[in-house]
Each structure stands twice: as structure tokens, then as C-alpha cells.
Structure 1
Amino acid sequence: MHVPATLVRGGTSKCWLFDQRDVPTTLDGLEALLVNAYGAADPVQLDGVGGATPTTSKAAVIRPCAEPGIDIEYLFGQVGIGVEKVEWGSNCGNCATAIALWAVTRGFATITGDLTAVTMRNVNTGAVLAASVDTTGGVAHEFGTQTVPGTRSGGVAVGLSFLDPVGGTTGSRTPSGAAAEELEIGGVQVRVTMIDAGAPMVLVDAAAVGRTGAEPVAVLREQVDWLRSVRRAAAARMGLDTLGDAVPKVGFVGEPVSYQSSTGEAVAAADYDISVRMLSMNAPHPAIGLTSAVGIAAANLLDGSVVHARSTASAAPVLRIGTPAGVVVVTCAGLGEYGPRRVTVRRAARILCDAEIHVPESAVPMPA
């Protein structure tokens, strides 16, 4: 079978996007399609279209939404690398950036002058996101000059806002009931904040365990197994599945220090407010997932959290996050007792190709 798909870069991720009309309607059939199309069983995904990294082995299936005020819905899948499965339990902000541009080019949203609004709902989590896509001159653009930390390549500017992001999965900003607490990991007490904003996550106070939160990716890679044990312990405390790899997300946070970004730029401690190093599907994230950025910005507003304690801009609506790729700026608005109502990040996207992916029909179960 030949399946139409579009490869789009959104921020620091690449995501294959599928029209709902072109793929199986059952989740089992869709998962089988993606596993085979990506070559998921192979750790290098050689016999497939997957990128063999957590930031490039992503997929989304998109359909129009009949609900007033929402243009499209999308189901996000994190396709396995070396394992024949797809994680369906999370959202991806970088892919949402890609989806917003794709929606404009495909006519799912009507172009309205120099900026076009696209409102999206993530089927996995119920999260609603509002995007503002650059359509200068009243046209959809193939190329642009907007850059983001993690790549020197430009793209079409997209502003992405997460609407009412707090408690989307667990129903609470602090699922364990505390702004910060101690988790026992291997007989050691580890101070963490468990927060649900953008996505459920557990943030480790880096200094409390002899880290800075600004370690190079190669050093963070040595901490993956330990961070996974933190993630499992936090999942149990948050009432989440301890077997999946997508959520809760996990990483270190620390005070700003000077470092060199992955693209070679010098980043001074004064250039940002909080150091962050996160995992994505059990591997160091080369920058930061946008759902993680939302959670960190929300935690920065939470008195007593490990982010609030280490940030040089604690309680401020604008937070500059130091990531391995550089500084990501996140803006919170509509601040209330339970956290921000809107969290916005500036991103960029570019459509890379339209393709037909060849998948054996026998590999994809179809509904009777």
C-alpha cells in the first residue's frame, strides 16, 4: 500500500504528518502502519522513514474538527526506535508547530492577511493549542528566516500558545500535593518538583545531587538510567503508568552558569534564568520539548518548587530557559491561583517533502 505523508520540521523536531483519510481508522491498524513505515524494529530505522532519534521518530494524524473554535484535531505518536510500538500517551509542541504550518498550506485554516490563526486540539491529552502562522502578503510560505535554538536553519515563523495547560493529564498542577518533596532513589533523598502543565513531569534539583543542570548532552547521557529511576518513582507518586516512556518527563534544573551551546555559541549565565536538561524517550533531549518548557515556566511561578528556588526570574511571567541548544524564551499570561492560562513560545517550521510511503498491506490490519 502507498500512504501519502508530509515530512515537516517543527522547531527542533521532524514529524511525518498524515491526513486521517489516508490511514487506518483503528489504533491497532495505525500503529502497525507506523511501526512498518518507520522501520521501528531496527535501532537505526534503516528500512524505513524514521529518523532513529526521539526528536525525528514522530508522527501525527490530522483531521478537521467540527467543534466551533477549533480548526483541527491531531493524534500524536512517538514511534519506537528498536522496538515495535508507538507511544500514544503524550503531546509534542514542536510537532504542533509543524502541524500549524501544514494546516495552513492544506486549507484547514483560512489565511487572514499577514498572520493566520490555527486552533488545534491534541487528541492524546485533550490539550488545546493556538498557533499564529506567518502568512505575510496573504500567502502560505515555503521558506522563512525565523530561527530557533538547536538549528541555524530558518523557517516560517509560528507562535505557539498552550491554552489552560495546567492539570491536563492528572487534573492537578501538583499531582503529589506538594510544590516540592523528597523522593528516595537508591537510598538517597532527592529533592524534586512533580508538576502537570503541558505534560506531567518530574524536575530534579540538580545542585542537591551534585549536578549543575547545564551539563553537556554527553554527560547527561551517563545519567539516563538514574533519571529513569527517578521517573518511575515519580510516576507512581503522580498516579501515572510506570511502564511507558513518554510521561512523566524527567530532567535536571539548576541555577544559570556559562556554557557553550551544541551549535558552538557561548551562553553567559546572565543570558538566561534557569538551566534545564531533559530526557526524551530515555535519551537526552538536544534542546527542550515544548511541553517540558511549558511545565518549567509554570513551575517557575509556583512558590516552593525547585524551579522557583533556582531561577533568577522566579515568579516572572517571562522565563529564559538555558537548554543544550541555547536559550528558549517562554511567556506566561493570564496568571491565576492555579497557574497560567496561556503559555507561548516562538517557533519555526518548514515543509520538507510530500511523499508516498510504501508499506506491505499484509503488515497493516484493516477493519472488517
Structure 2
Amino acid sequence: MRGGTSKCWLFNAVDVDPLVEEAGGLDAILTSAFGSGDPRQLDGVGGGSSTTSKAAIVRRSGESGIDVEYLFAQVAIGDRRVEWGSNCGNCATAIGLYALQSGLVPVDSTTTTVRMRNTNTGAILTAEIATPGGMIPTEGEAAVPGTSALGVPVSLTFTDLTSGATLLPTGSASDSIELGSSRHRGTMVVAGAPAALFDAADLGLTGAESNSEISEHVDILMALRQESSLRMGLSKPGDPVSHAIPKVGVVGPPRDYRTSAGIDVAGEDYDISVRMLSMLAPHPAIGLTSAVAVAAAATVAGGVVADNARVRWPGSLRLGTAAGVLDIDLTTSLDGVVEAVSLHRAARRIAAAELFVASPTVALAGSAR
């Protein structure tokens, strides 16, 4: 499935669960299926980039009020490993349509709502898909920044954003990290995904640079990410470095810029500049969980995002990403706490496939759909 700007292989748990022990574990199945260990992922279905090396195991939920549960996997490319610590909103978009097309949820006569739980993080999401007359869509004309491909329109909402956690894991609206002779101010939040968002100006940036320019600052952003992980309680000194969480990026005030597709965007057409990393490289657009984190951080007075944002309309936020402008709708409580974040996405089924997994050889008959 394509969801937003990601490509995700979705496996039905009914097919995968019996194979896990036989194949040497879920990590072994996925790294073999994707061809990981080779930067081109030549011997599998991975696309050699973080946005095309994603998977999810999907199952019906037995929990009241939840239709499906999914376990998200960010499959490494050059290494044979899988990171399980995060969620992916783009893949959740695809899962909403997958659940409908696969018969995991009943079809409504007007709009079908799919209630999902991400079992990695406990996050609850809802996907709304128009099904007039009970017809299940297969194609659509919805577009999103970052790809010219069209798809079925899906409204994706993140709810219960800080359930079981605090929005500000360090207890501060703004934290300062010293690297060498430089200090970097950032806001660390847990909403959608754990994220550390730094002021672009402290790196000598505006936040509206091209991804090639952001690439020159990956090393310092990874150093900031590692320190943020410690401060947020996501890791301890000496732990193996995770490349999935926290998400890390820079923000700056809106200004005129040119997207990676060569389209000019005026500063007055969005509210804040955002550039994020994904698995050691600049994200071509922005992950939806990162977008949710930015939206939540925008409500934190005295934080880096709030200080840089110029919000024109209450209840909305427009992110200027390398791929274009992403519109977000926010629902807040009377005291200004973000309760829900909604994004408008697109999804399409690409294939129903039979994958043959090497070492040991296991055929996932009909399982990748």
C-alpha cells in the first residue's frame, strides 16, 4: 500500500504469526523480505529509502472501540535489523484503507470510520473514508505534498495524544544542549511520536533550506538527537543508538522558499518552516507522527515551535516542508492542551503479493496484501 508519502507492506497477522518461530523471528522475516543488509535492498521488496522500507502487522482487535491493531516496523536498509519503537502516520493512512478493502471492518453507507491502535506506542488513530452507498473505493483523486501520485482520500486523526505520558518529558518548554562552543535550544515533546525540535537559527539555518543543505548538518542533528534521547528518558548511557526515535528536526519562521519539486512557496502561505530527519537522512517531506509532534509543540508557550510560528487561523497549523505545505487541524481543550490532530491524506493499494523469504526459506503465501 502507498499511504501519503510512504510505501508500506502490510501483513495480515493471521498469515504471519504461525511463521514467526519457524523463520527465526519477525525481524528475520522482515529483513529477508525487504532485502536488508544491502543498501539497494536488491534481494527484497524494499526501496532503498526510509520511506519505502516500512511494514506493519495488522490484526482485528478484541478491544471494545478499536477495530484493528497494528505493529509498525521500520526496517533498516544497510543493516539486517528492525526498529520497533515508533509509529508511522502515513502507514496508518494505508492501514485504514487496507482494513476496509480486506473486510476487517464493516462498510458504512456513507462514511466508514476505522479505529486503530498502534501497539508499538499505544497511540489511537481514526481513519475516515467516504463509502457512499456502501461502495469500497479503490482509486481516488486526492493528492498530498511530496508525491504526484493520487489516491483514495483518507482523513487521519490522532487522538488521546499524551495518554500515559506527559507532553513535555523533560518538564520544560525549552531545553538547551551544548555541543562544543555552541548552544542549541530545543523543545522536546511526546505526541504522535517522541520528537526533539531545535531552533534552526542556532545551526545557522532558517528552517526553509533544501534537503541537500540540511544533509550537511546531519552529524550535528544526530548528536542533538542522542542527547535528547537521554534527556527524554528514551535511552540510557551506553545503550545502542536507535535511529527511529526521538524524531529530530529544525524549525524556523515562515519565509519564501522553493520545494524539492521546484515549486515556489510564499512565506505568507504557511505558518512555520520544518525540516526533519528520517533514519539518518533528511525526510523528503515530513512523517505524520513528526507533524503531530510539531503541532502539539506549537501550543507550548515559550517553546521553540511556538516562538517561530506565525499562526493565522486558530485550530490550524500549516507546515512548510521540503515537499510543500501540509495543513493540520487541531482540537484543543479550554486550557489550550491539544486533544486531537487531523491530517488529510491519500492511499492506494499497489499489490497483493506472495513473498518468498530466504534463510530459512519461507513462503508468506498470500500474506502481504
TM-score class, shorter-chain normalisation, is over 0.9
Matches within 5 A, 1:167-178: 171-178=165-172
Q: What amino acid is the match of 1:96?
A: A
- Corresponding position of 2:286: 288
Q: Which residue of 2 aligns with 1:91?
A: 87
> Higher mean Cα deviation, 183-192 or 100-109?
183-192
TM-score by length of 2: 0.93
**2:226 aligned partner, one-letter code:** R
Change (3 A) 1:353 1:71: same
Q: How far apart, in 1, do the equivalents of 2:155 and 2:100 lie?
A: 14
Secondary structure, counterpart of 1:202 in structure 2: strand
For 1:188 and 1:37, the matched residues in 2 are separated by 43
Q: Could you say which residue in structure 1 is the equivalent of 2:358?
A: 360
- 1:36-93 CA-partner distances (Å, limit 9, x unpaired): 0111110110111001100000000000001111000000000011001000000000
CA distance in 1 between partners of 2:343 and 2:335 (Å): 22
Change (3 A) 1:336 1:233: farther
Query: Which stretch of structure 1 is more off in the superposition, 17-26 or 39-48?
Result: 17-26
Counterpart of 2:365? none
Q: Please tell me whether the aligned partners of residues 254 and 274 of structure 1 are also in contact (alpha carbons under 8 angstroms).
A: yes
| Alignment match, 1:66 | 62
Partner of 2:179: 185
Q: Please, which runs of 5 or more residues in structure 1 have no aligned partner?
A: 1-7
Q: Which moved more, 1:355-364 or 1:62-71?
A: 355-364
Q: Do the aligned partners of 1:300 and 1:314 also contact (CA within 8 Å) in 2?
A: no
The 3 A distance-change label for structure 1 pair 311 and 90 is same
Query: Match for 1:230 among 220, 224, 235?
Result: 224
Provide the residue aligned with 1:115 in structure 2: 111
2:197 to 203, 212, 220: 203
1:304 aligned residue? 302
Which 5+ residue runs of structure 2 have no aligned equivalent?
Answer: 363-369
Matched, 1:21 2:7: no
Match of 1:9 in 2: 2
1:3-30 Cα distance to aligned partner (Å, 9 max, x none):
xxxxx00000000000001114558611
Partner of 1:36: 32
Query: Once the 2 structures are TM-superposed, how far is the Cα of residue 337 of structure 1 from its aligned partner?
Result: 4.2
Does the CA contact (< 8 Å) of 1:255 and 1:311 recur in 2? Answer: yes
**Within 1, Cα distance between the matches of 2:231 and 2:32?**
35
Structure-1 residue corresponding to 2:234: 240
Q: Distance in 2 between matches of 1:138 and 1:145?
A: 19
> Cα distance 1:316–1:183, how it changes in 2: closer, same or farther (>3 A)?
farther
Checking the alignment, whether the CA contact within 8 Å between 1:9 and 1:349 is kept in structure 2 is yes
Task: Give distance in 1, aligned partners of 2:180 and 2:344.
Answer: 39
Q: CA RMSD in A?
A: 1.6
Contact 2:299 2:336 in 1 (8 A): no
Deviation of 1:315 after TM superposition, in Å, equals: 9.2
Corresponding residue to 1:342 among 325, 336, 340: 340
Aligned length: 355
- Is 1:194 aligned to residue 188 of structure 2? yes
Structure 2 CA distance, aligned partners of 1:147 and 1:315?
23
TM-score by length of 1: 0.93
For 1:319, which of 317, 323, 346 is the aligned residue?
317
Shift of 1:35: 0.6
Distance 2:334 2:124 in 1: 18
Contact 1:166 1:339 in 2 (8 A): no
- Which residue matches 1:126? 122
Q: Is the 8 A contact 2:183 2:202 kept in 1?
A: no
The 2-side partners of 1:20 and 1:293 are apart by: 28
Residues 216-265 of structure 1: CA deviation (Å, up to 9, x unaligned): 01111111111000000111111112621111100000001111112222
Of the structure 1 ranges 334-343 and 269-278, higher mean CA displacement relative to structure 2 is found in: 334-343
Whole-Å Cα distance in 2 between the matches of residues 42 and 191 of structure 1?
Answer: 37
- Cα distance in 2 for residues equivalent to 1:291 and 1:338: 20
**Equivalent AA in structure 2 for residue 162 of structure 1:** F
Per-residue deviation at 1:266?
Answer: 1.3
Deviations 1:315-346 (A, max 9, x none): 93200000011000111114254721111000
Q: In the alignment, is the contact (CA less than 8 A) between 2:208 and 2:252 conserved in 1?
A: yes
**In structure 2, distance between residues paired with 1:350 and 1:263:** 22
State whether structure 2 residue 210 is matched by structure 1 residue 216.
yes
Q: How far apart in 2 are the matches of 1:60 and 1:344?
A: 21
Q: Which residue of the partner structure matches residue 271 of structure 1?
A: 269
| Distance (Å, rounded) in 2 between the aligned partners of 1:120 and 1:30 | 21
**Structure 1 residue aligned with 2:146:** 150
The aligned residue for residue 351 of structure 1 is: 349
Once the two structures are TM-superposed, the CA of residue 314 in structure 1 deviates from its matched residue by 8.0
Q: Secondary structure at the match of 2:351?
A: strand
Taking the aligned partners of 2:327 and 2:217, their CA distance within structure 1 comes to 26
Secondary structure of the equivalent of 1:152? coil
Distance 1:353 1:33, change over 3 A: same
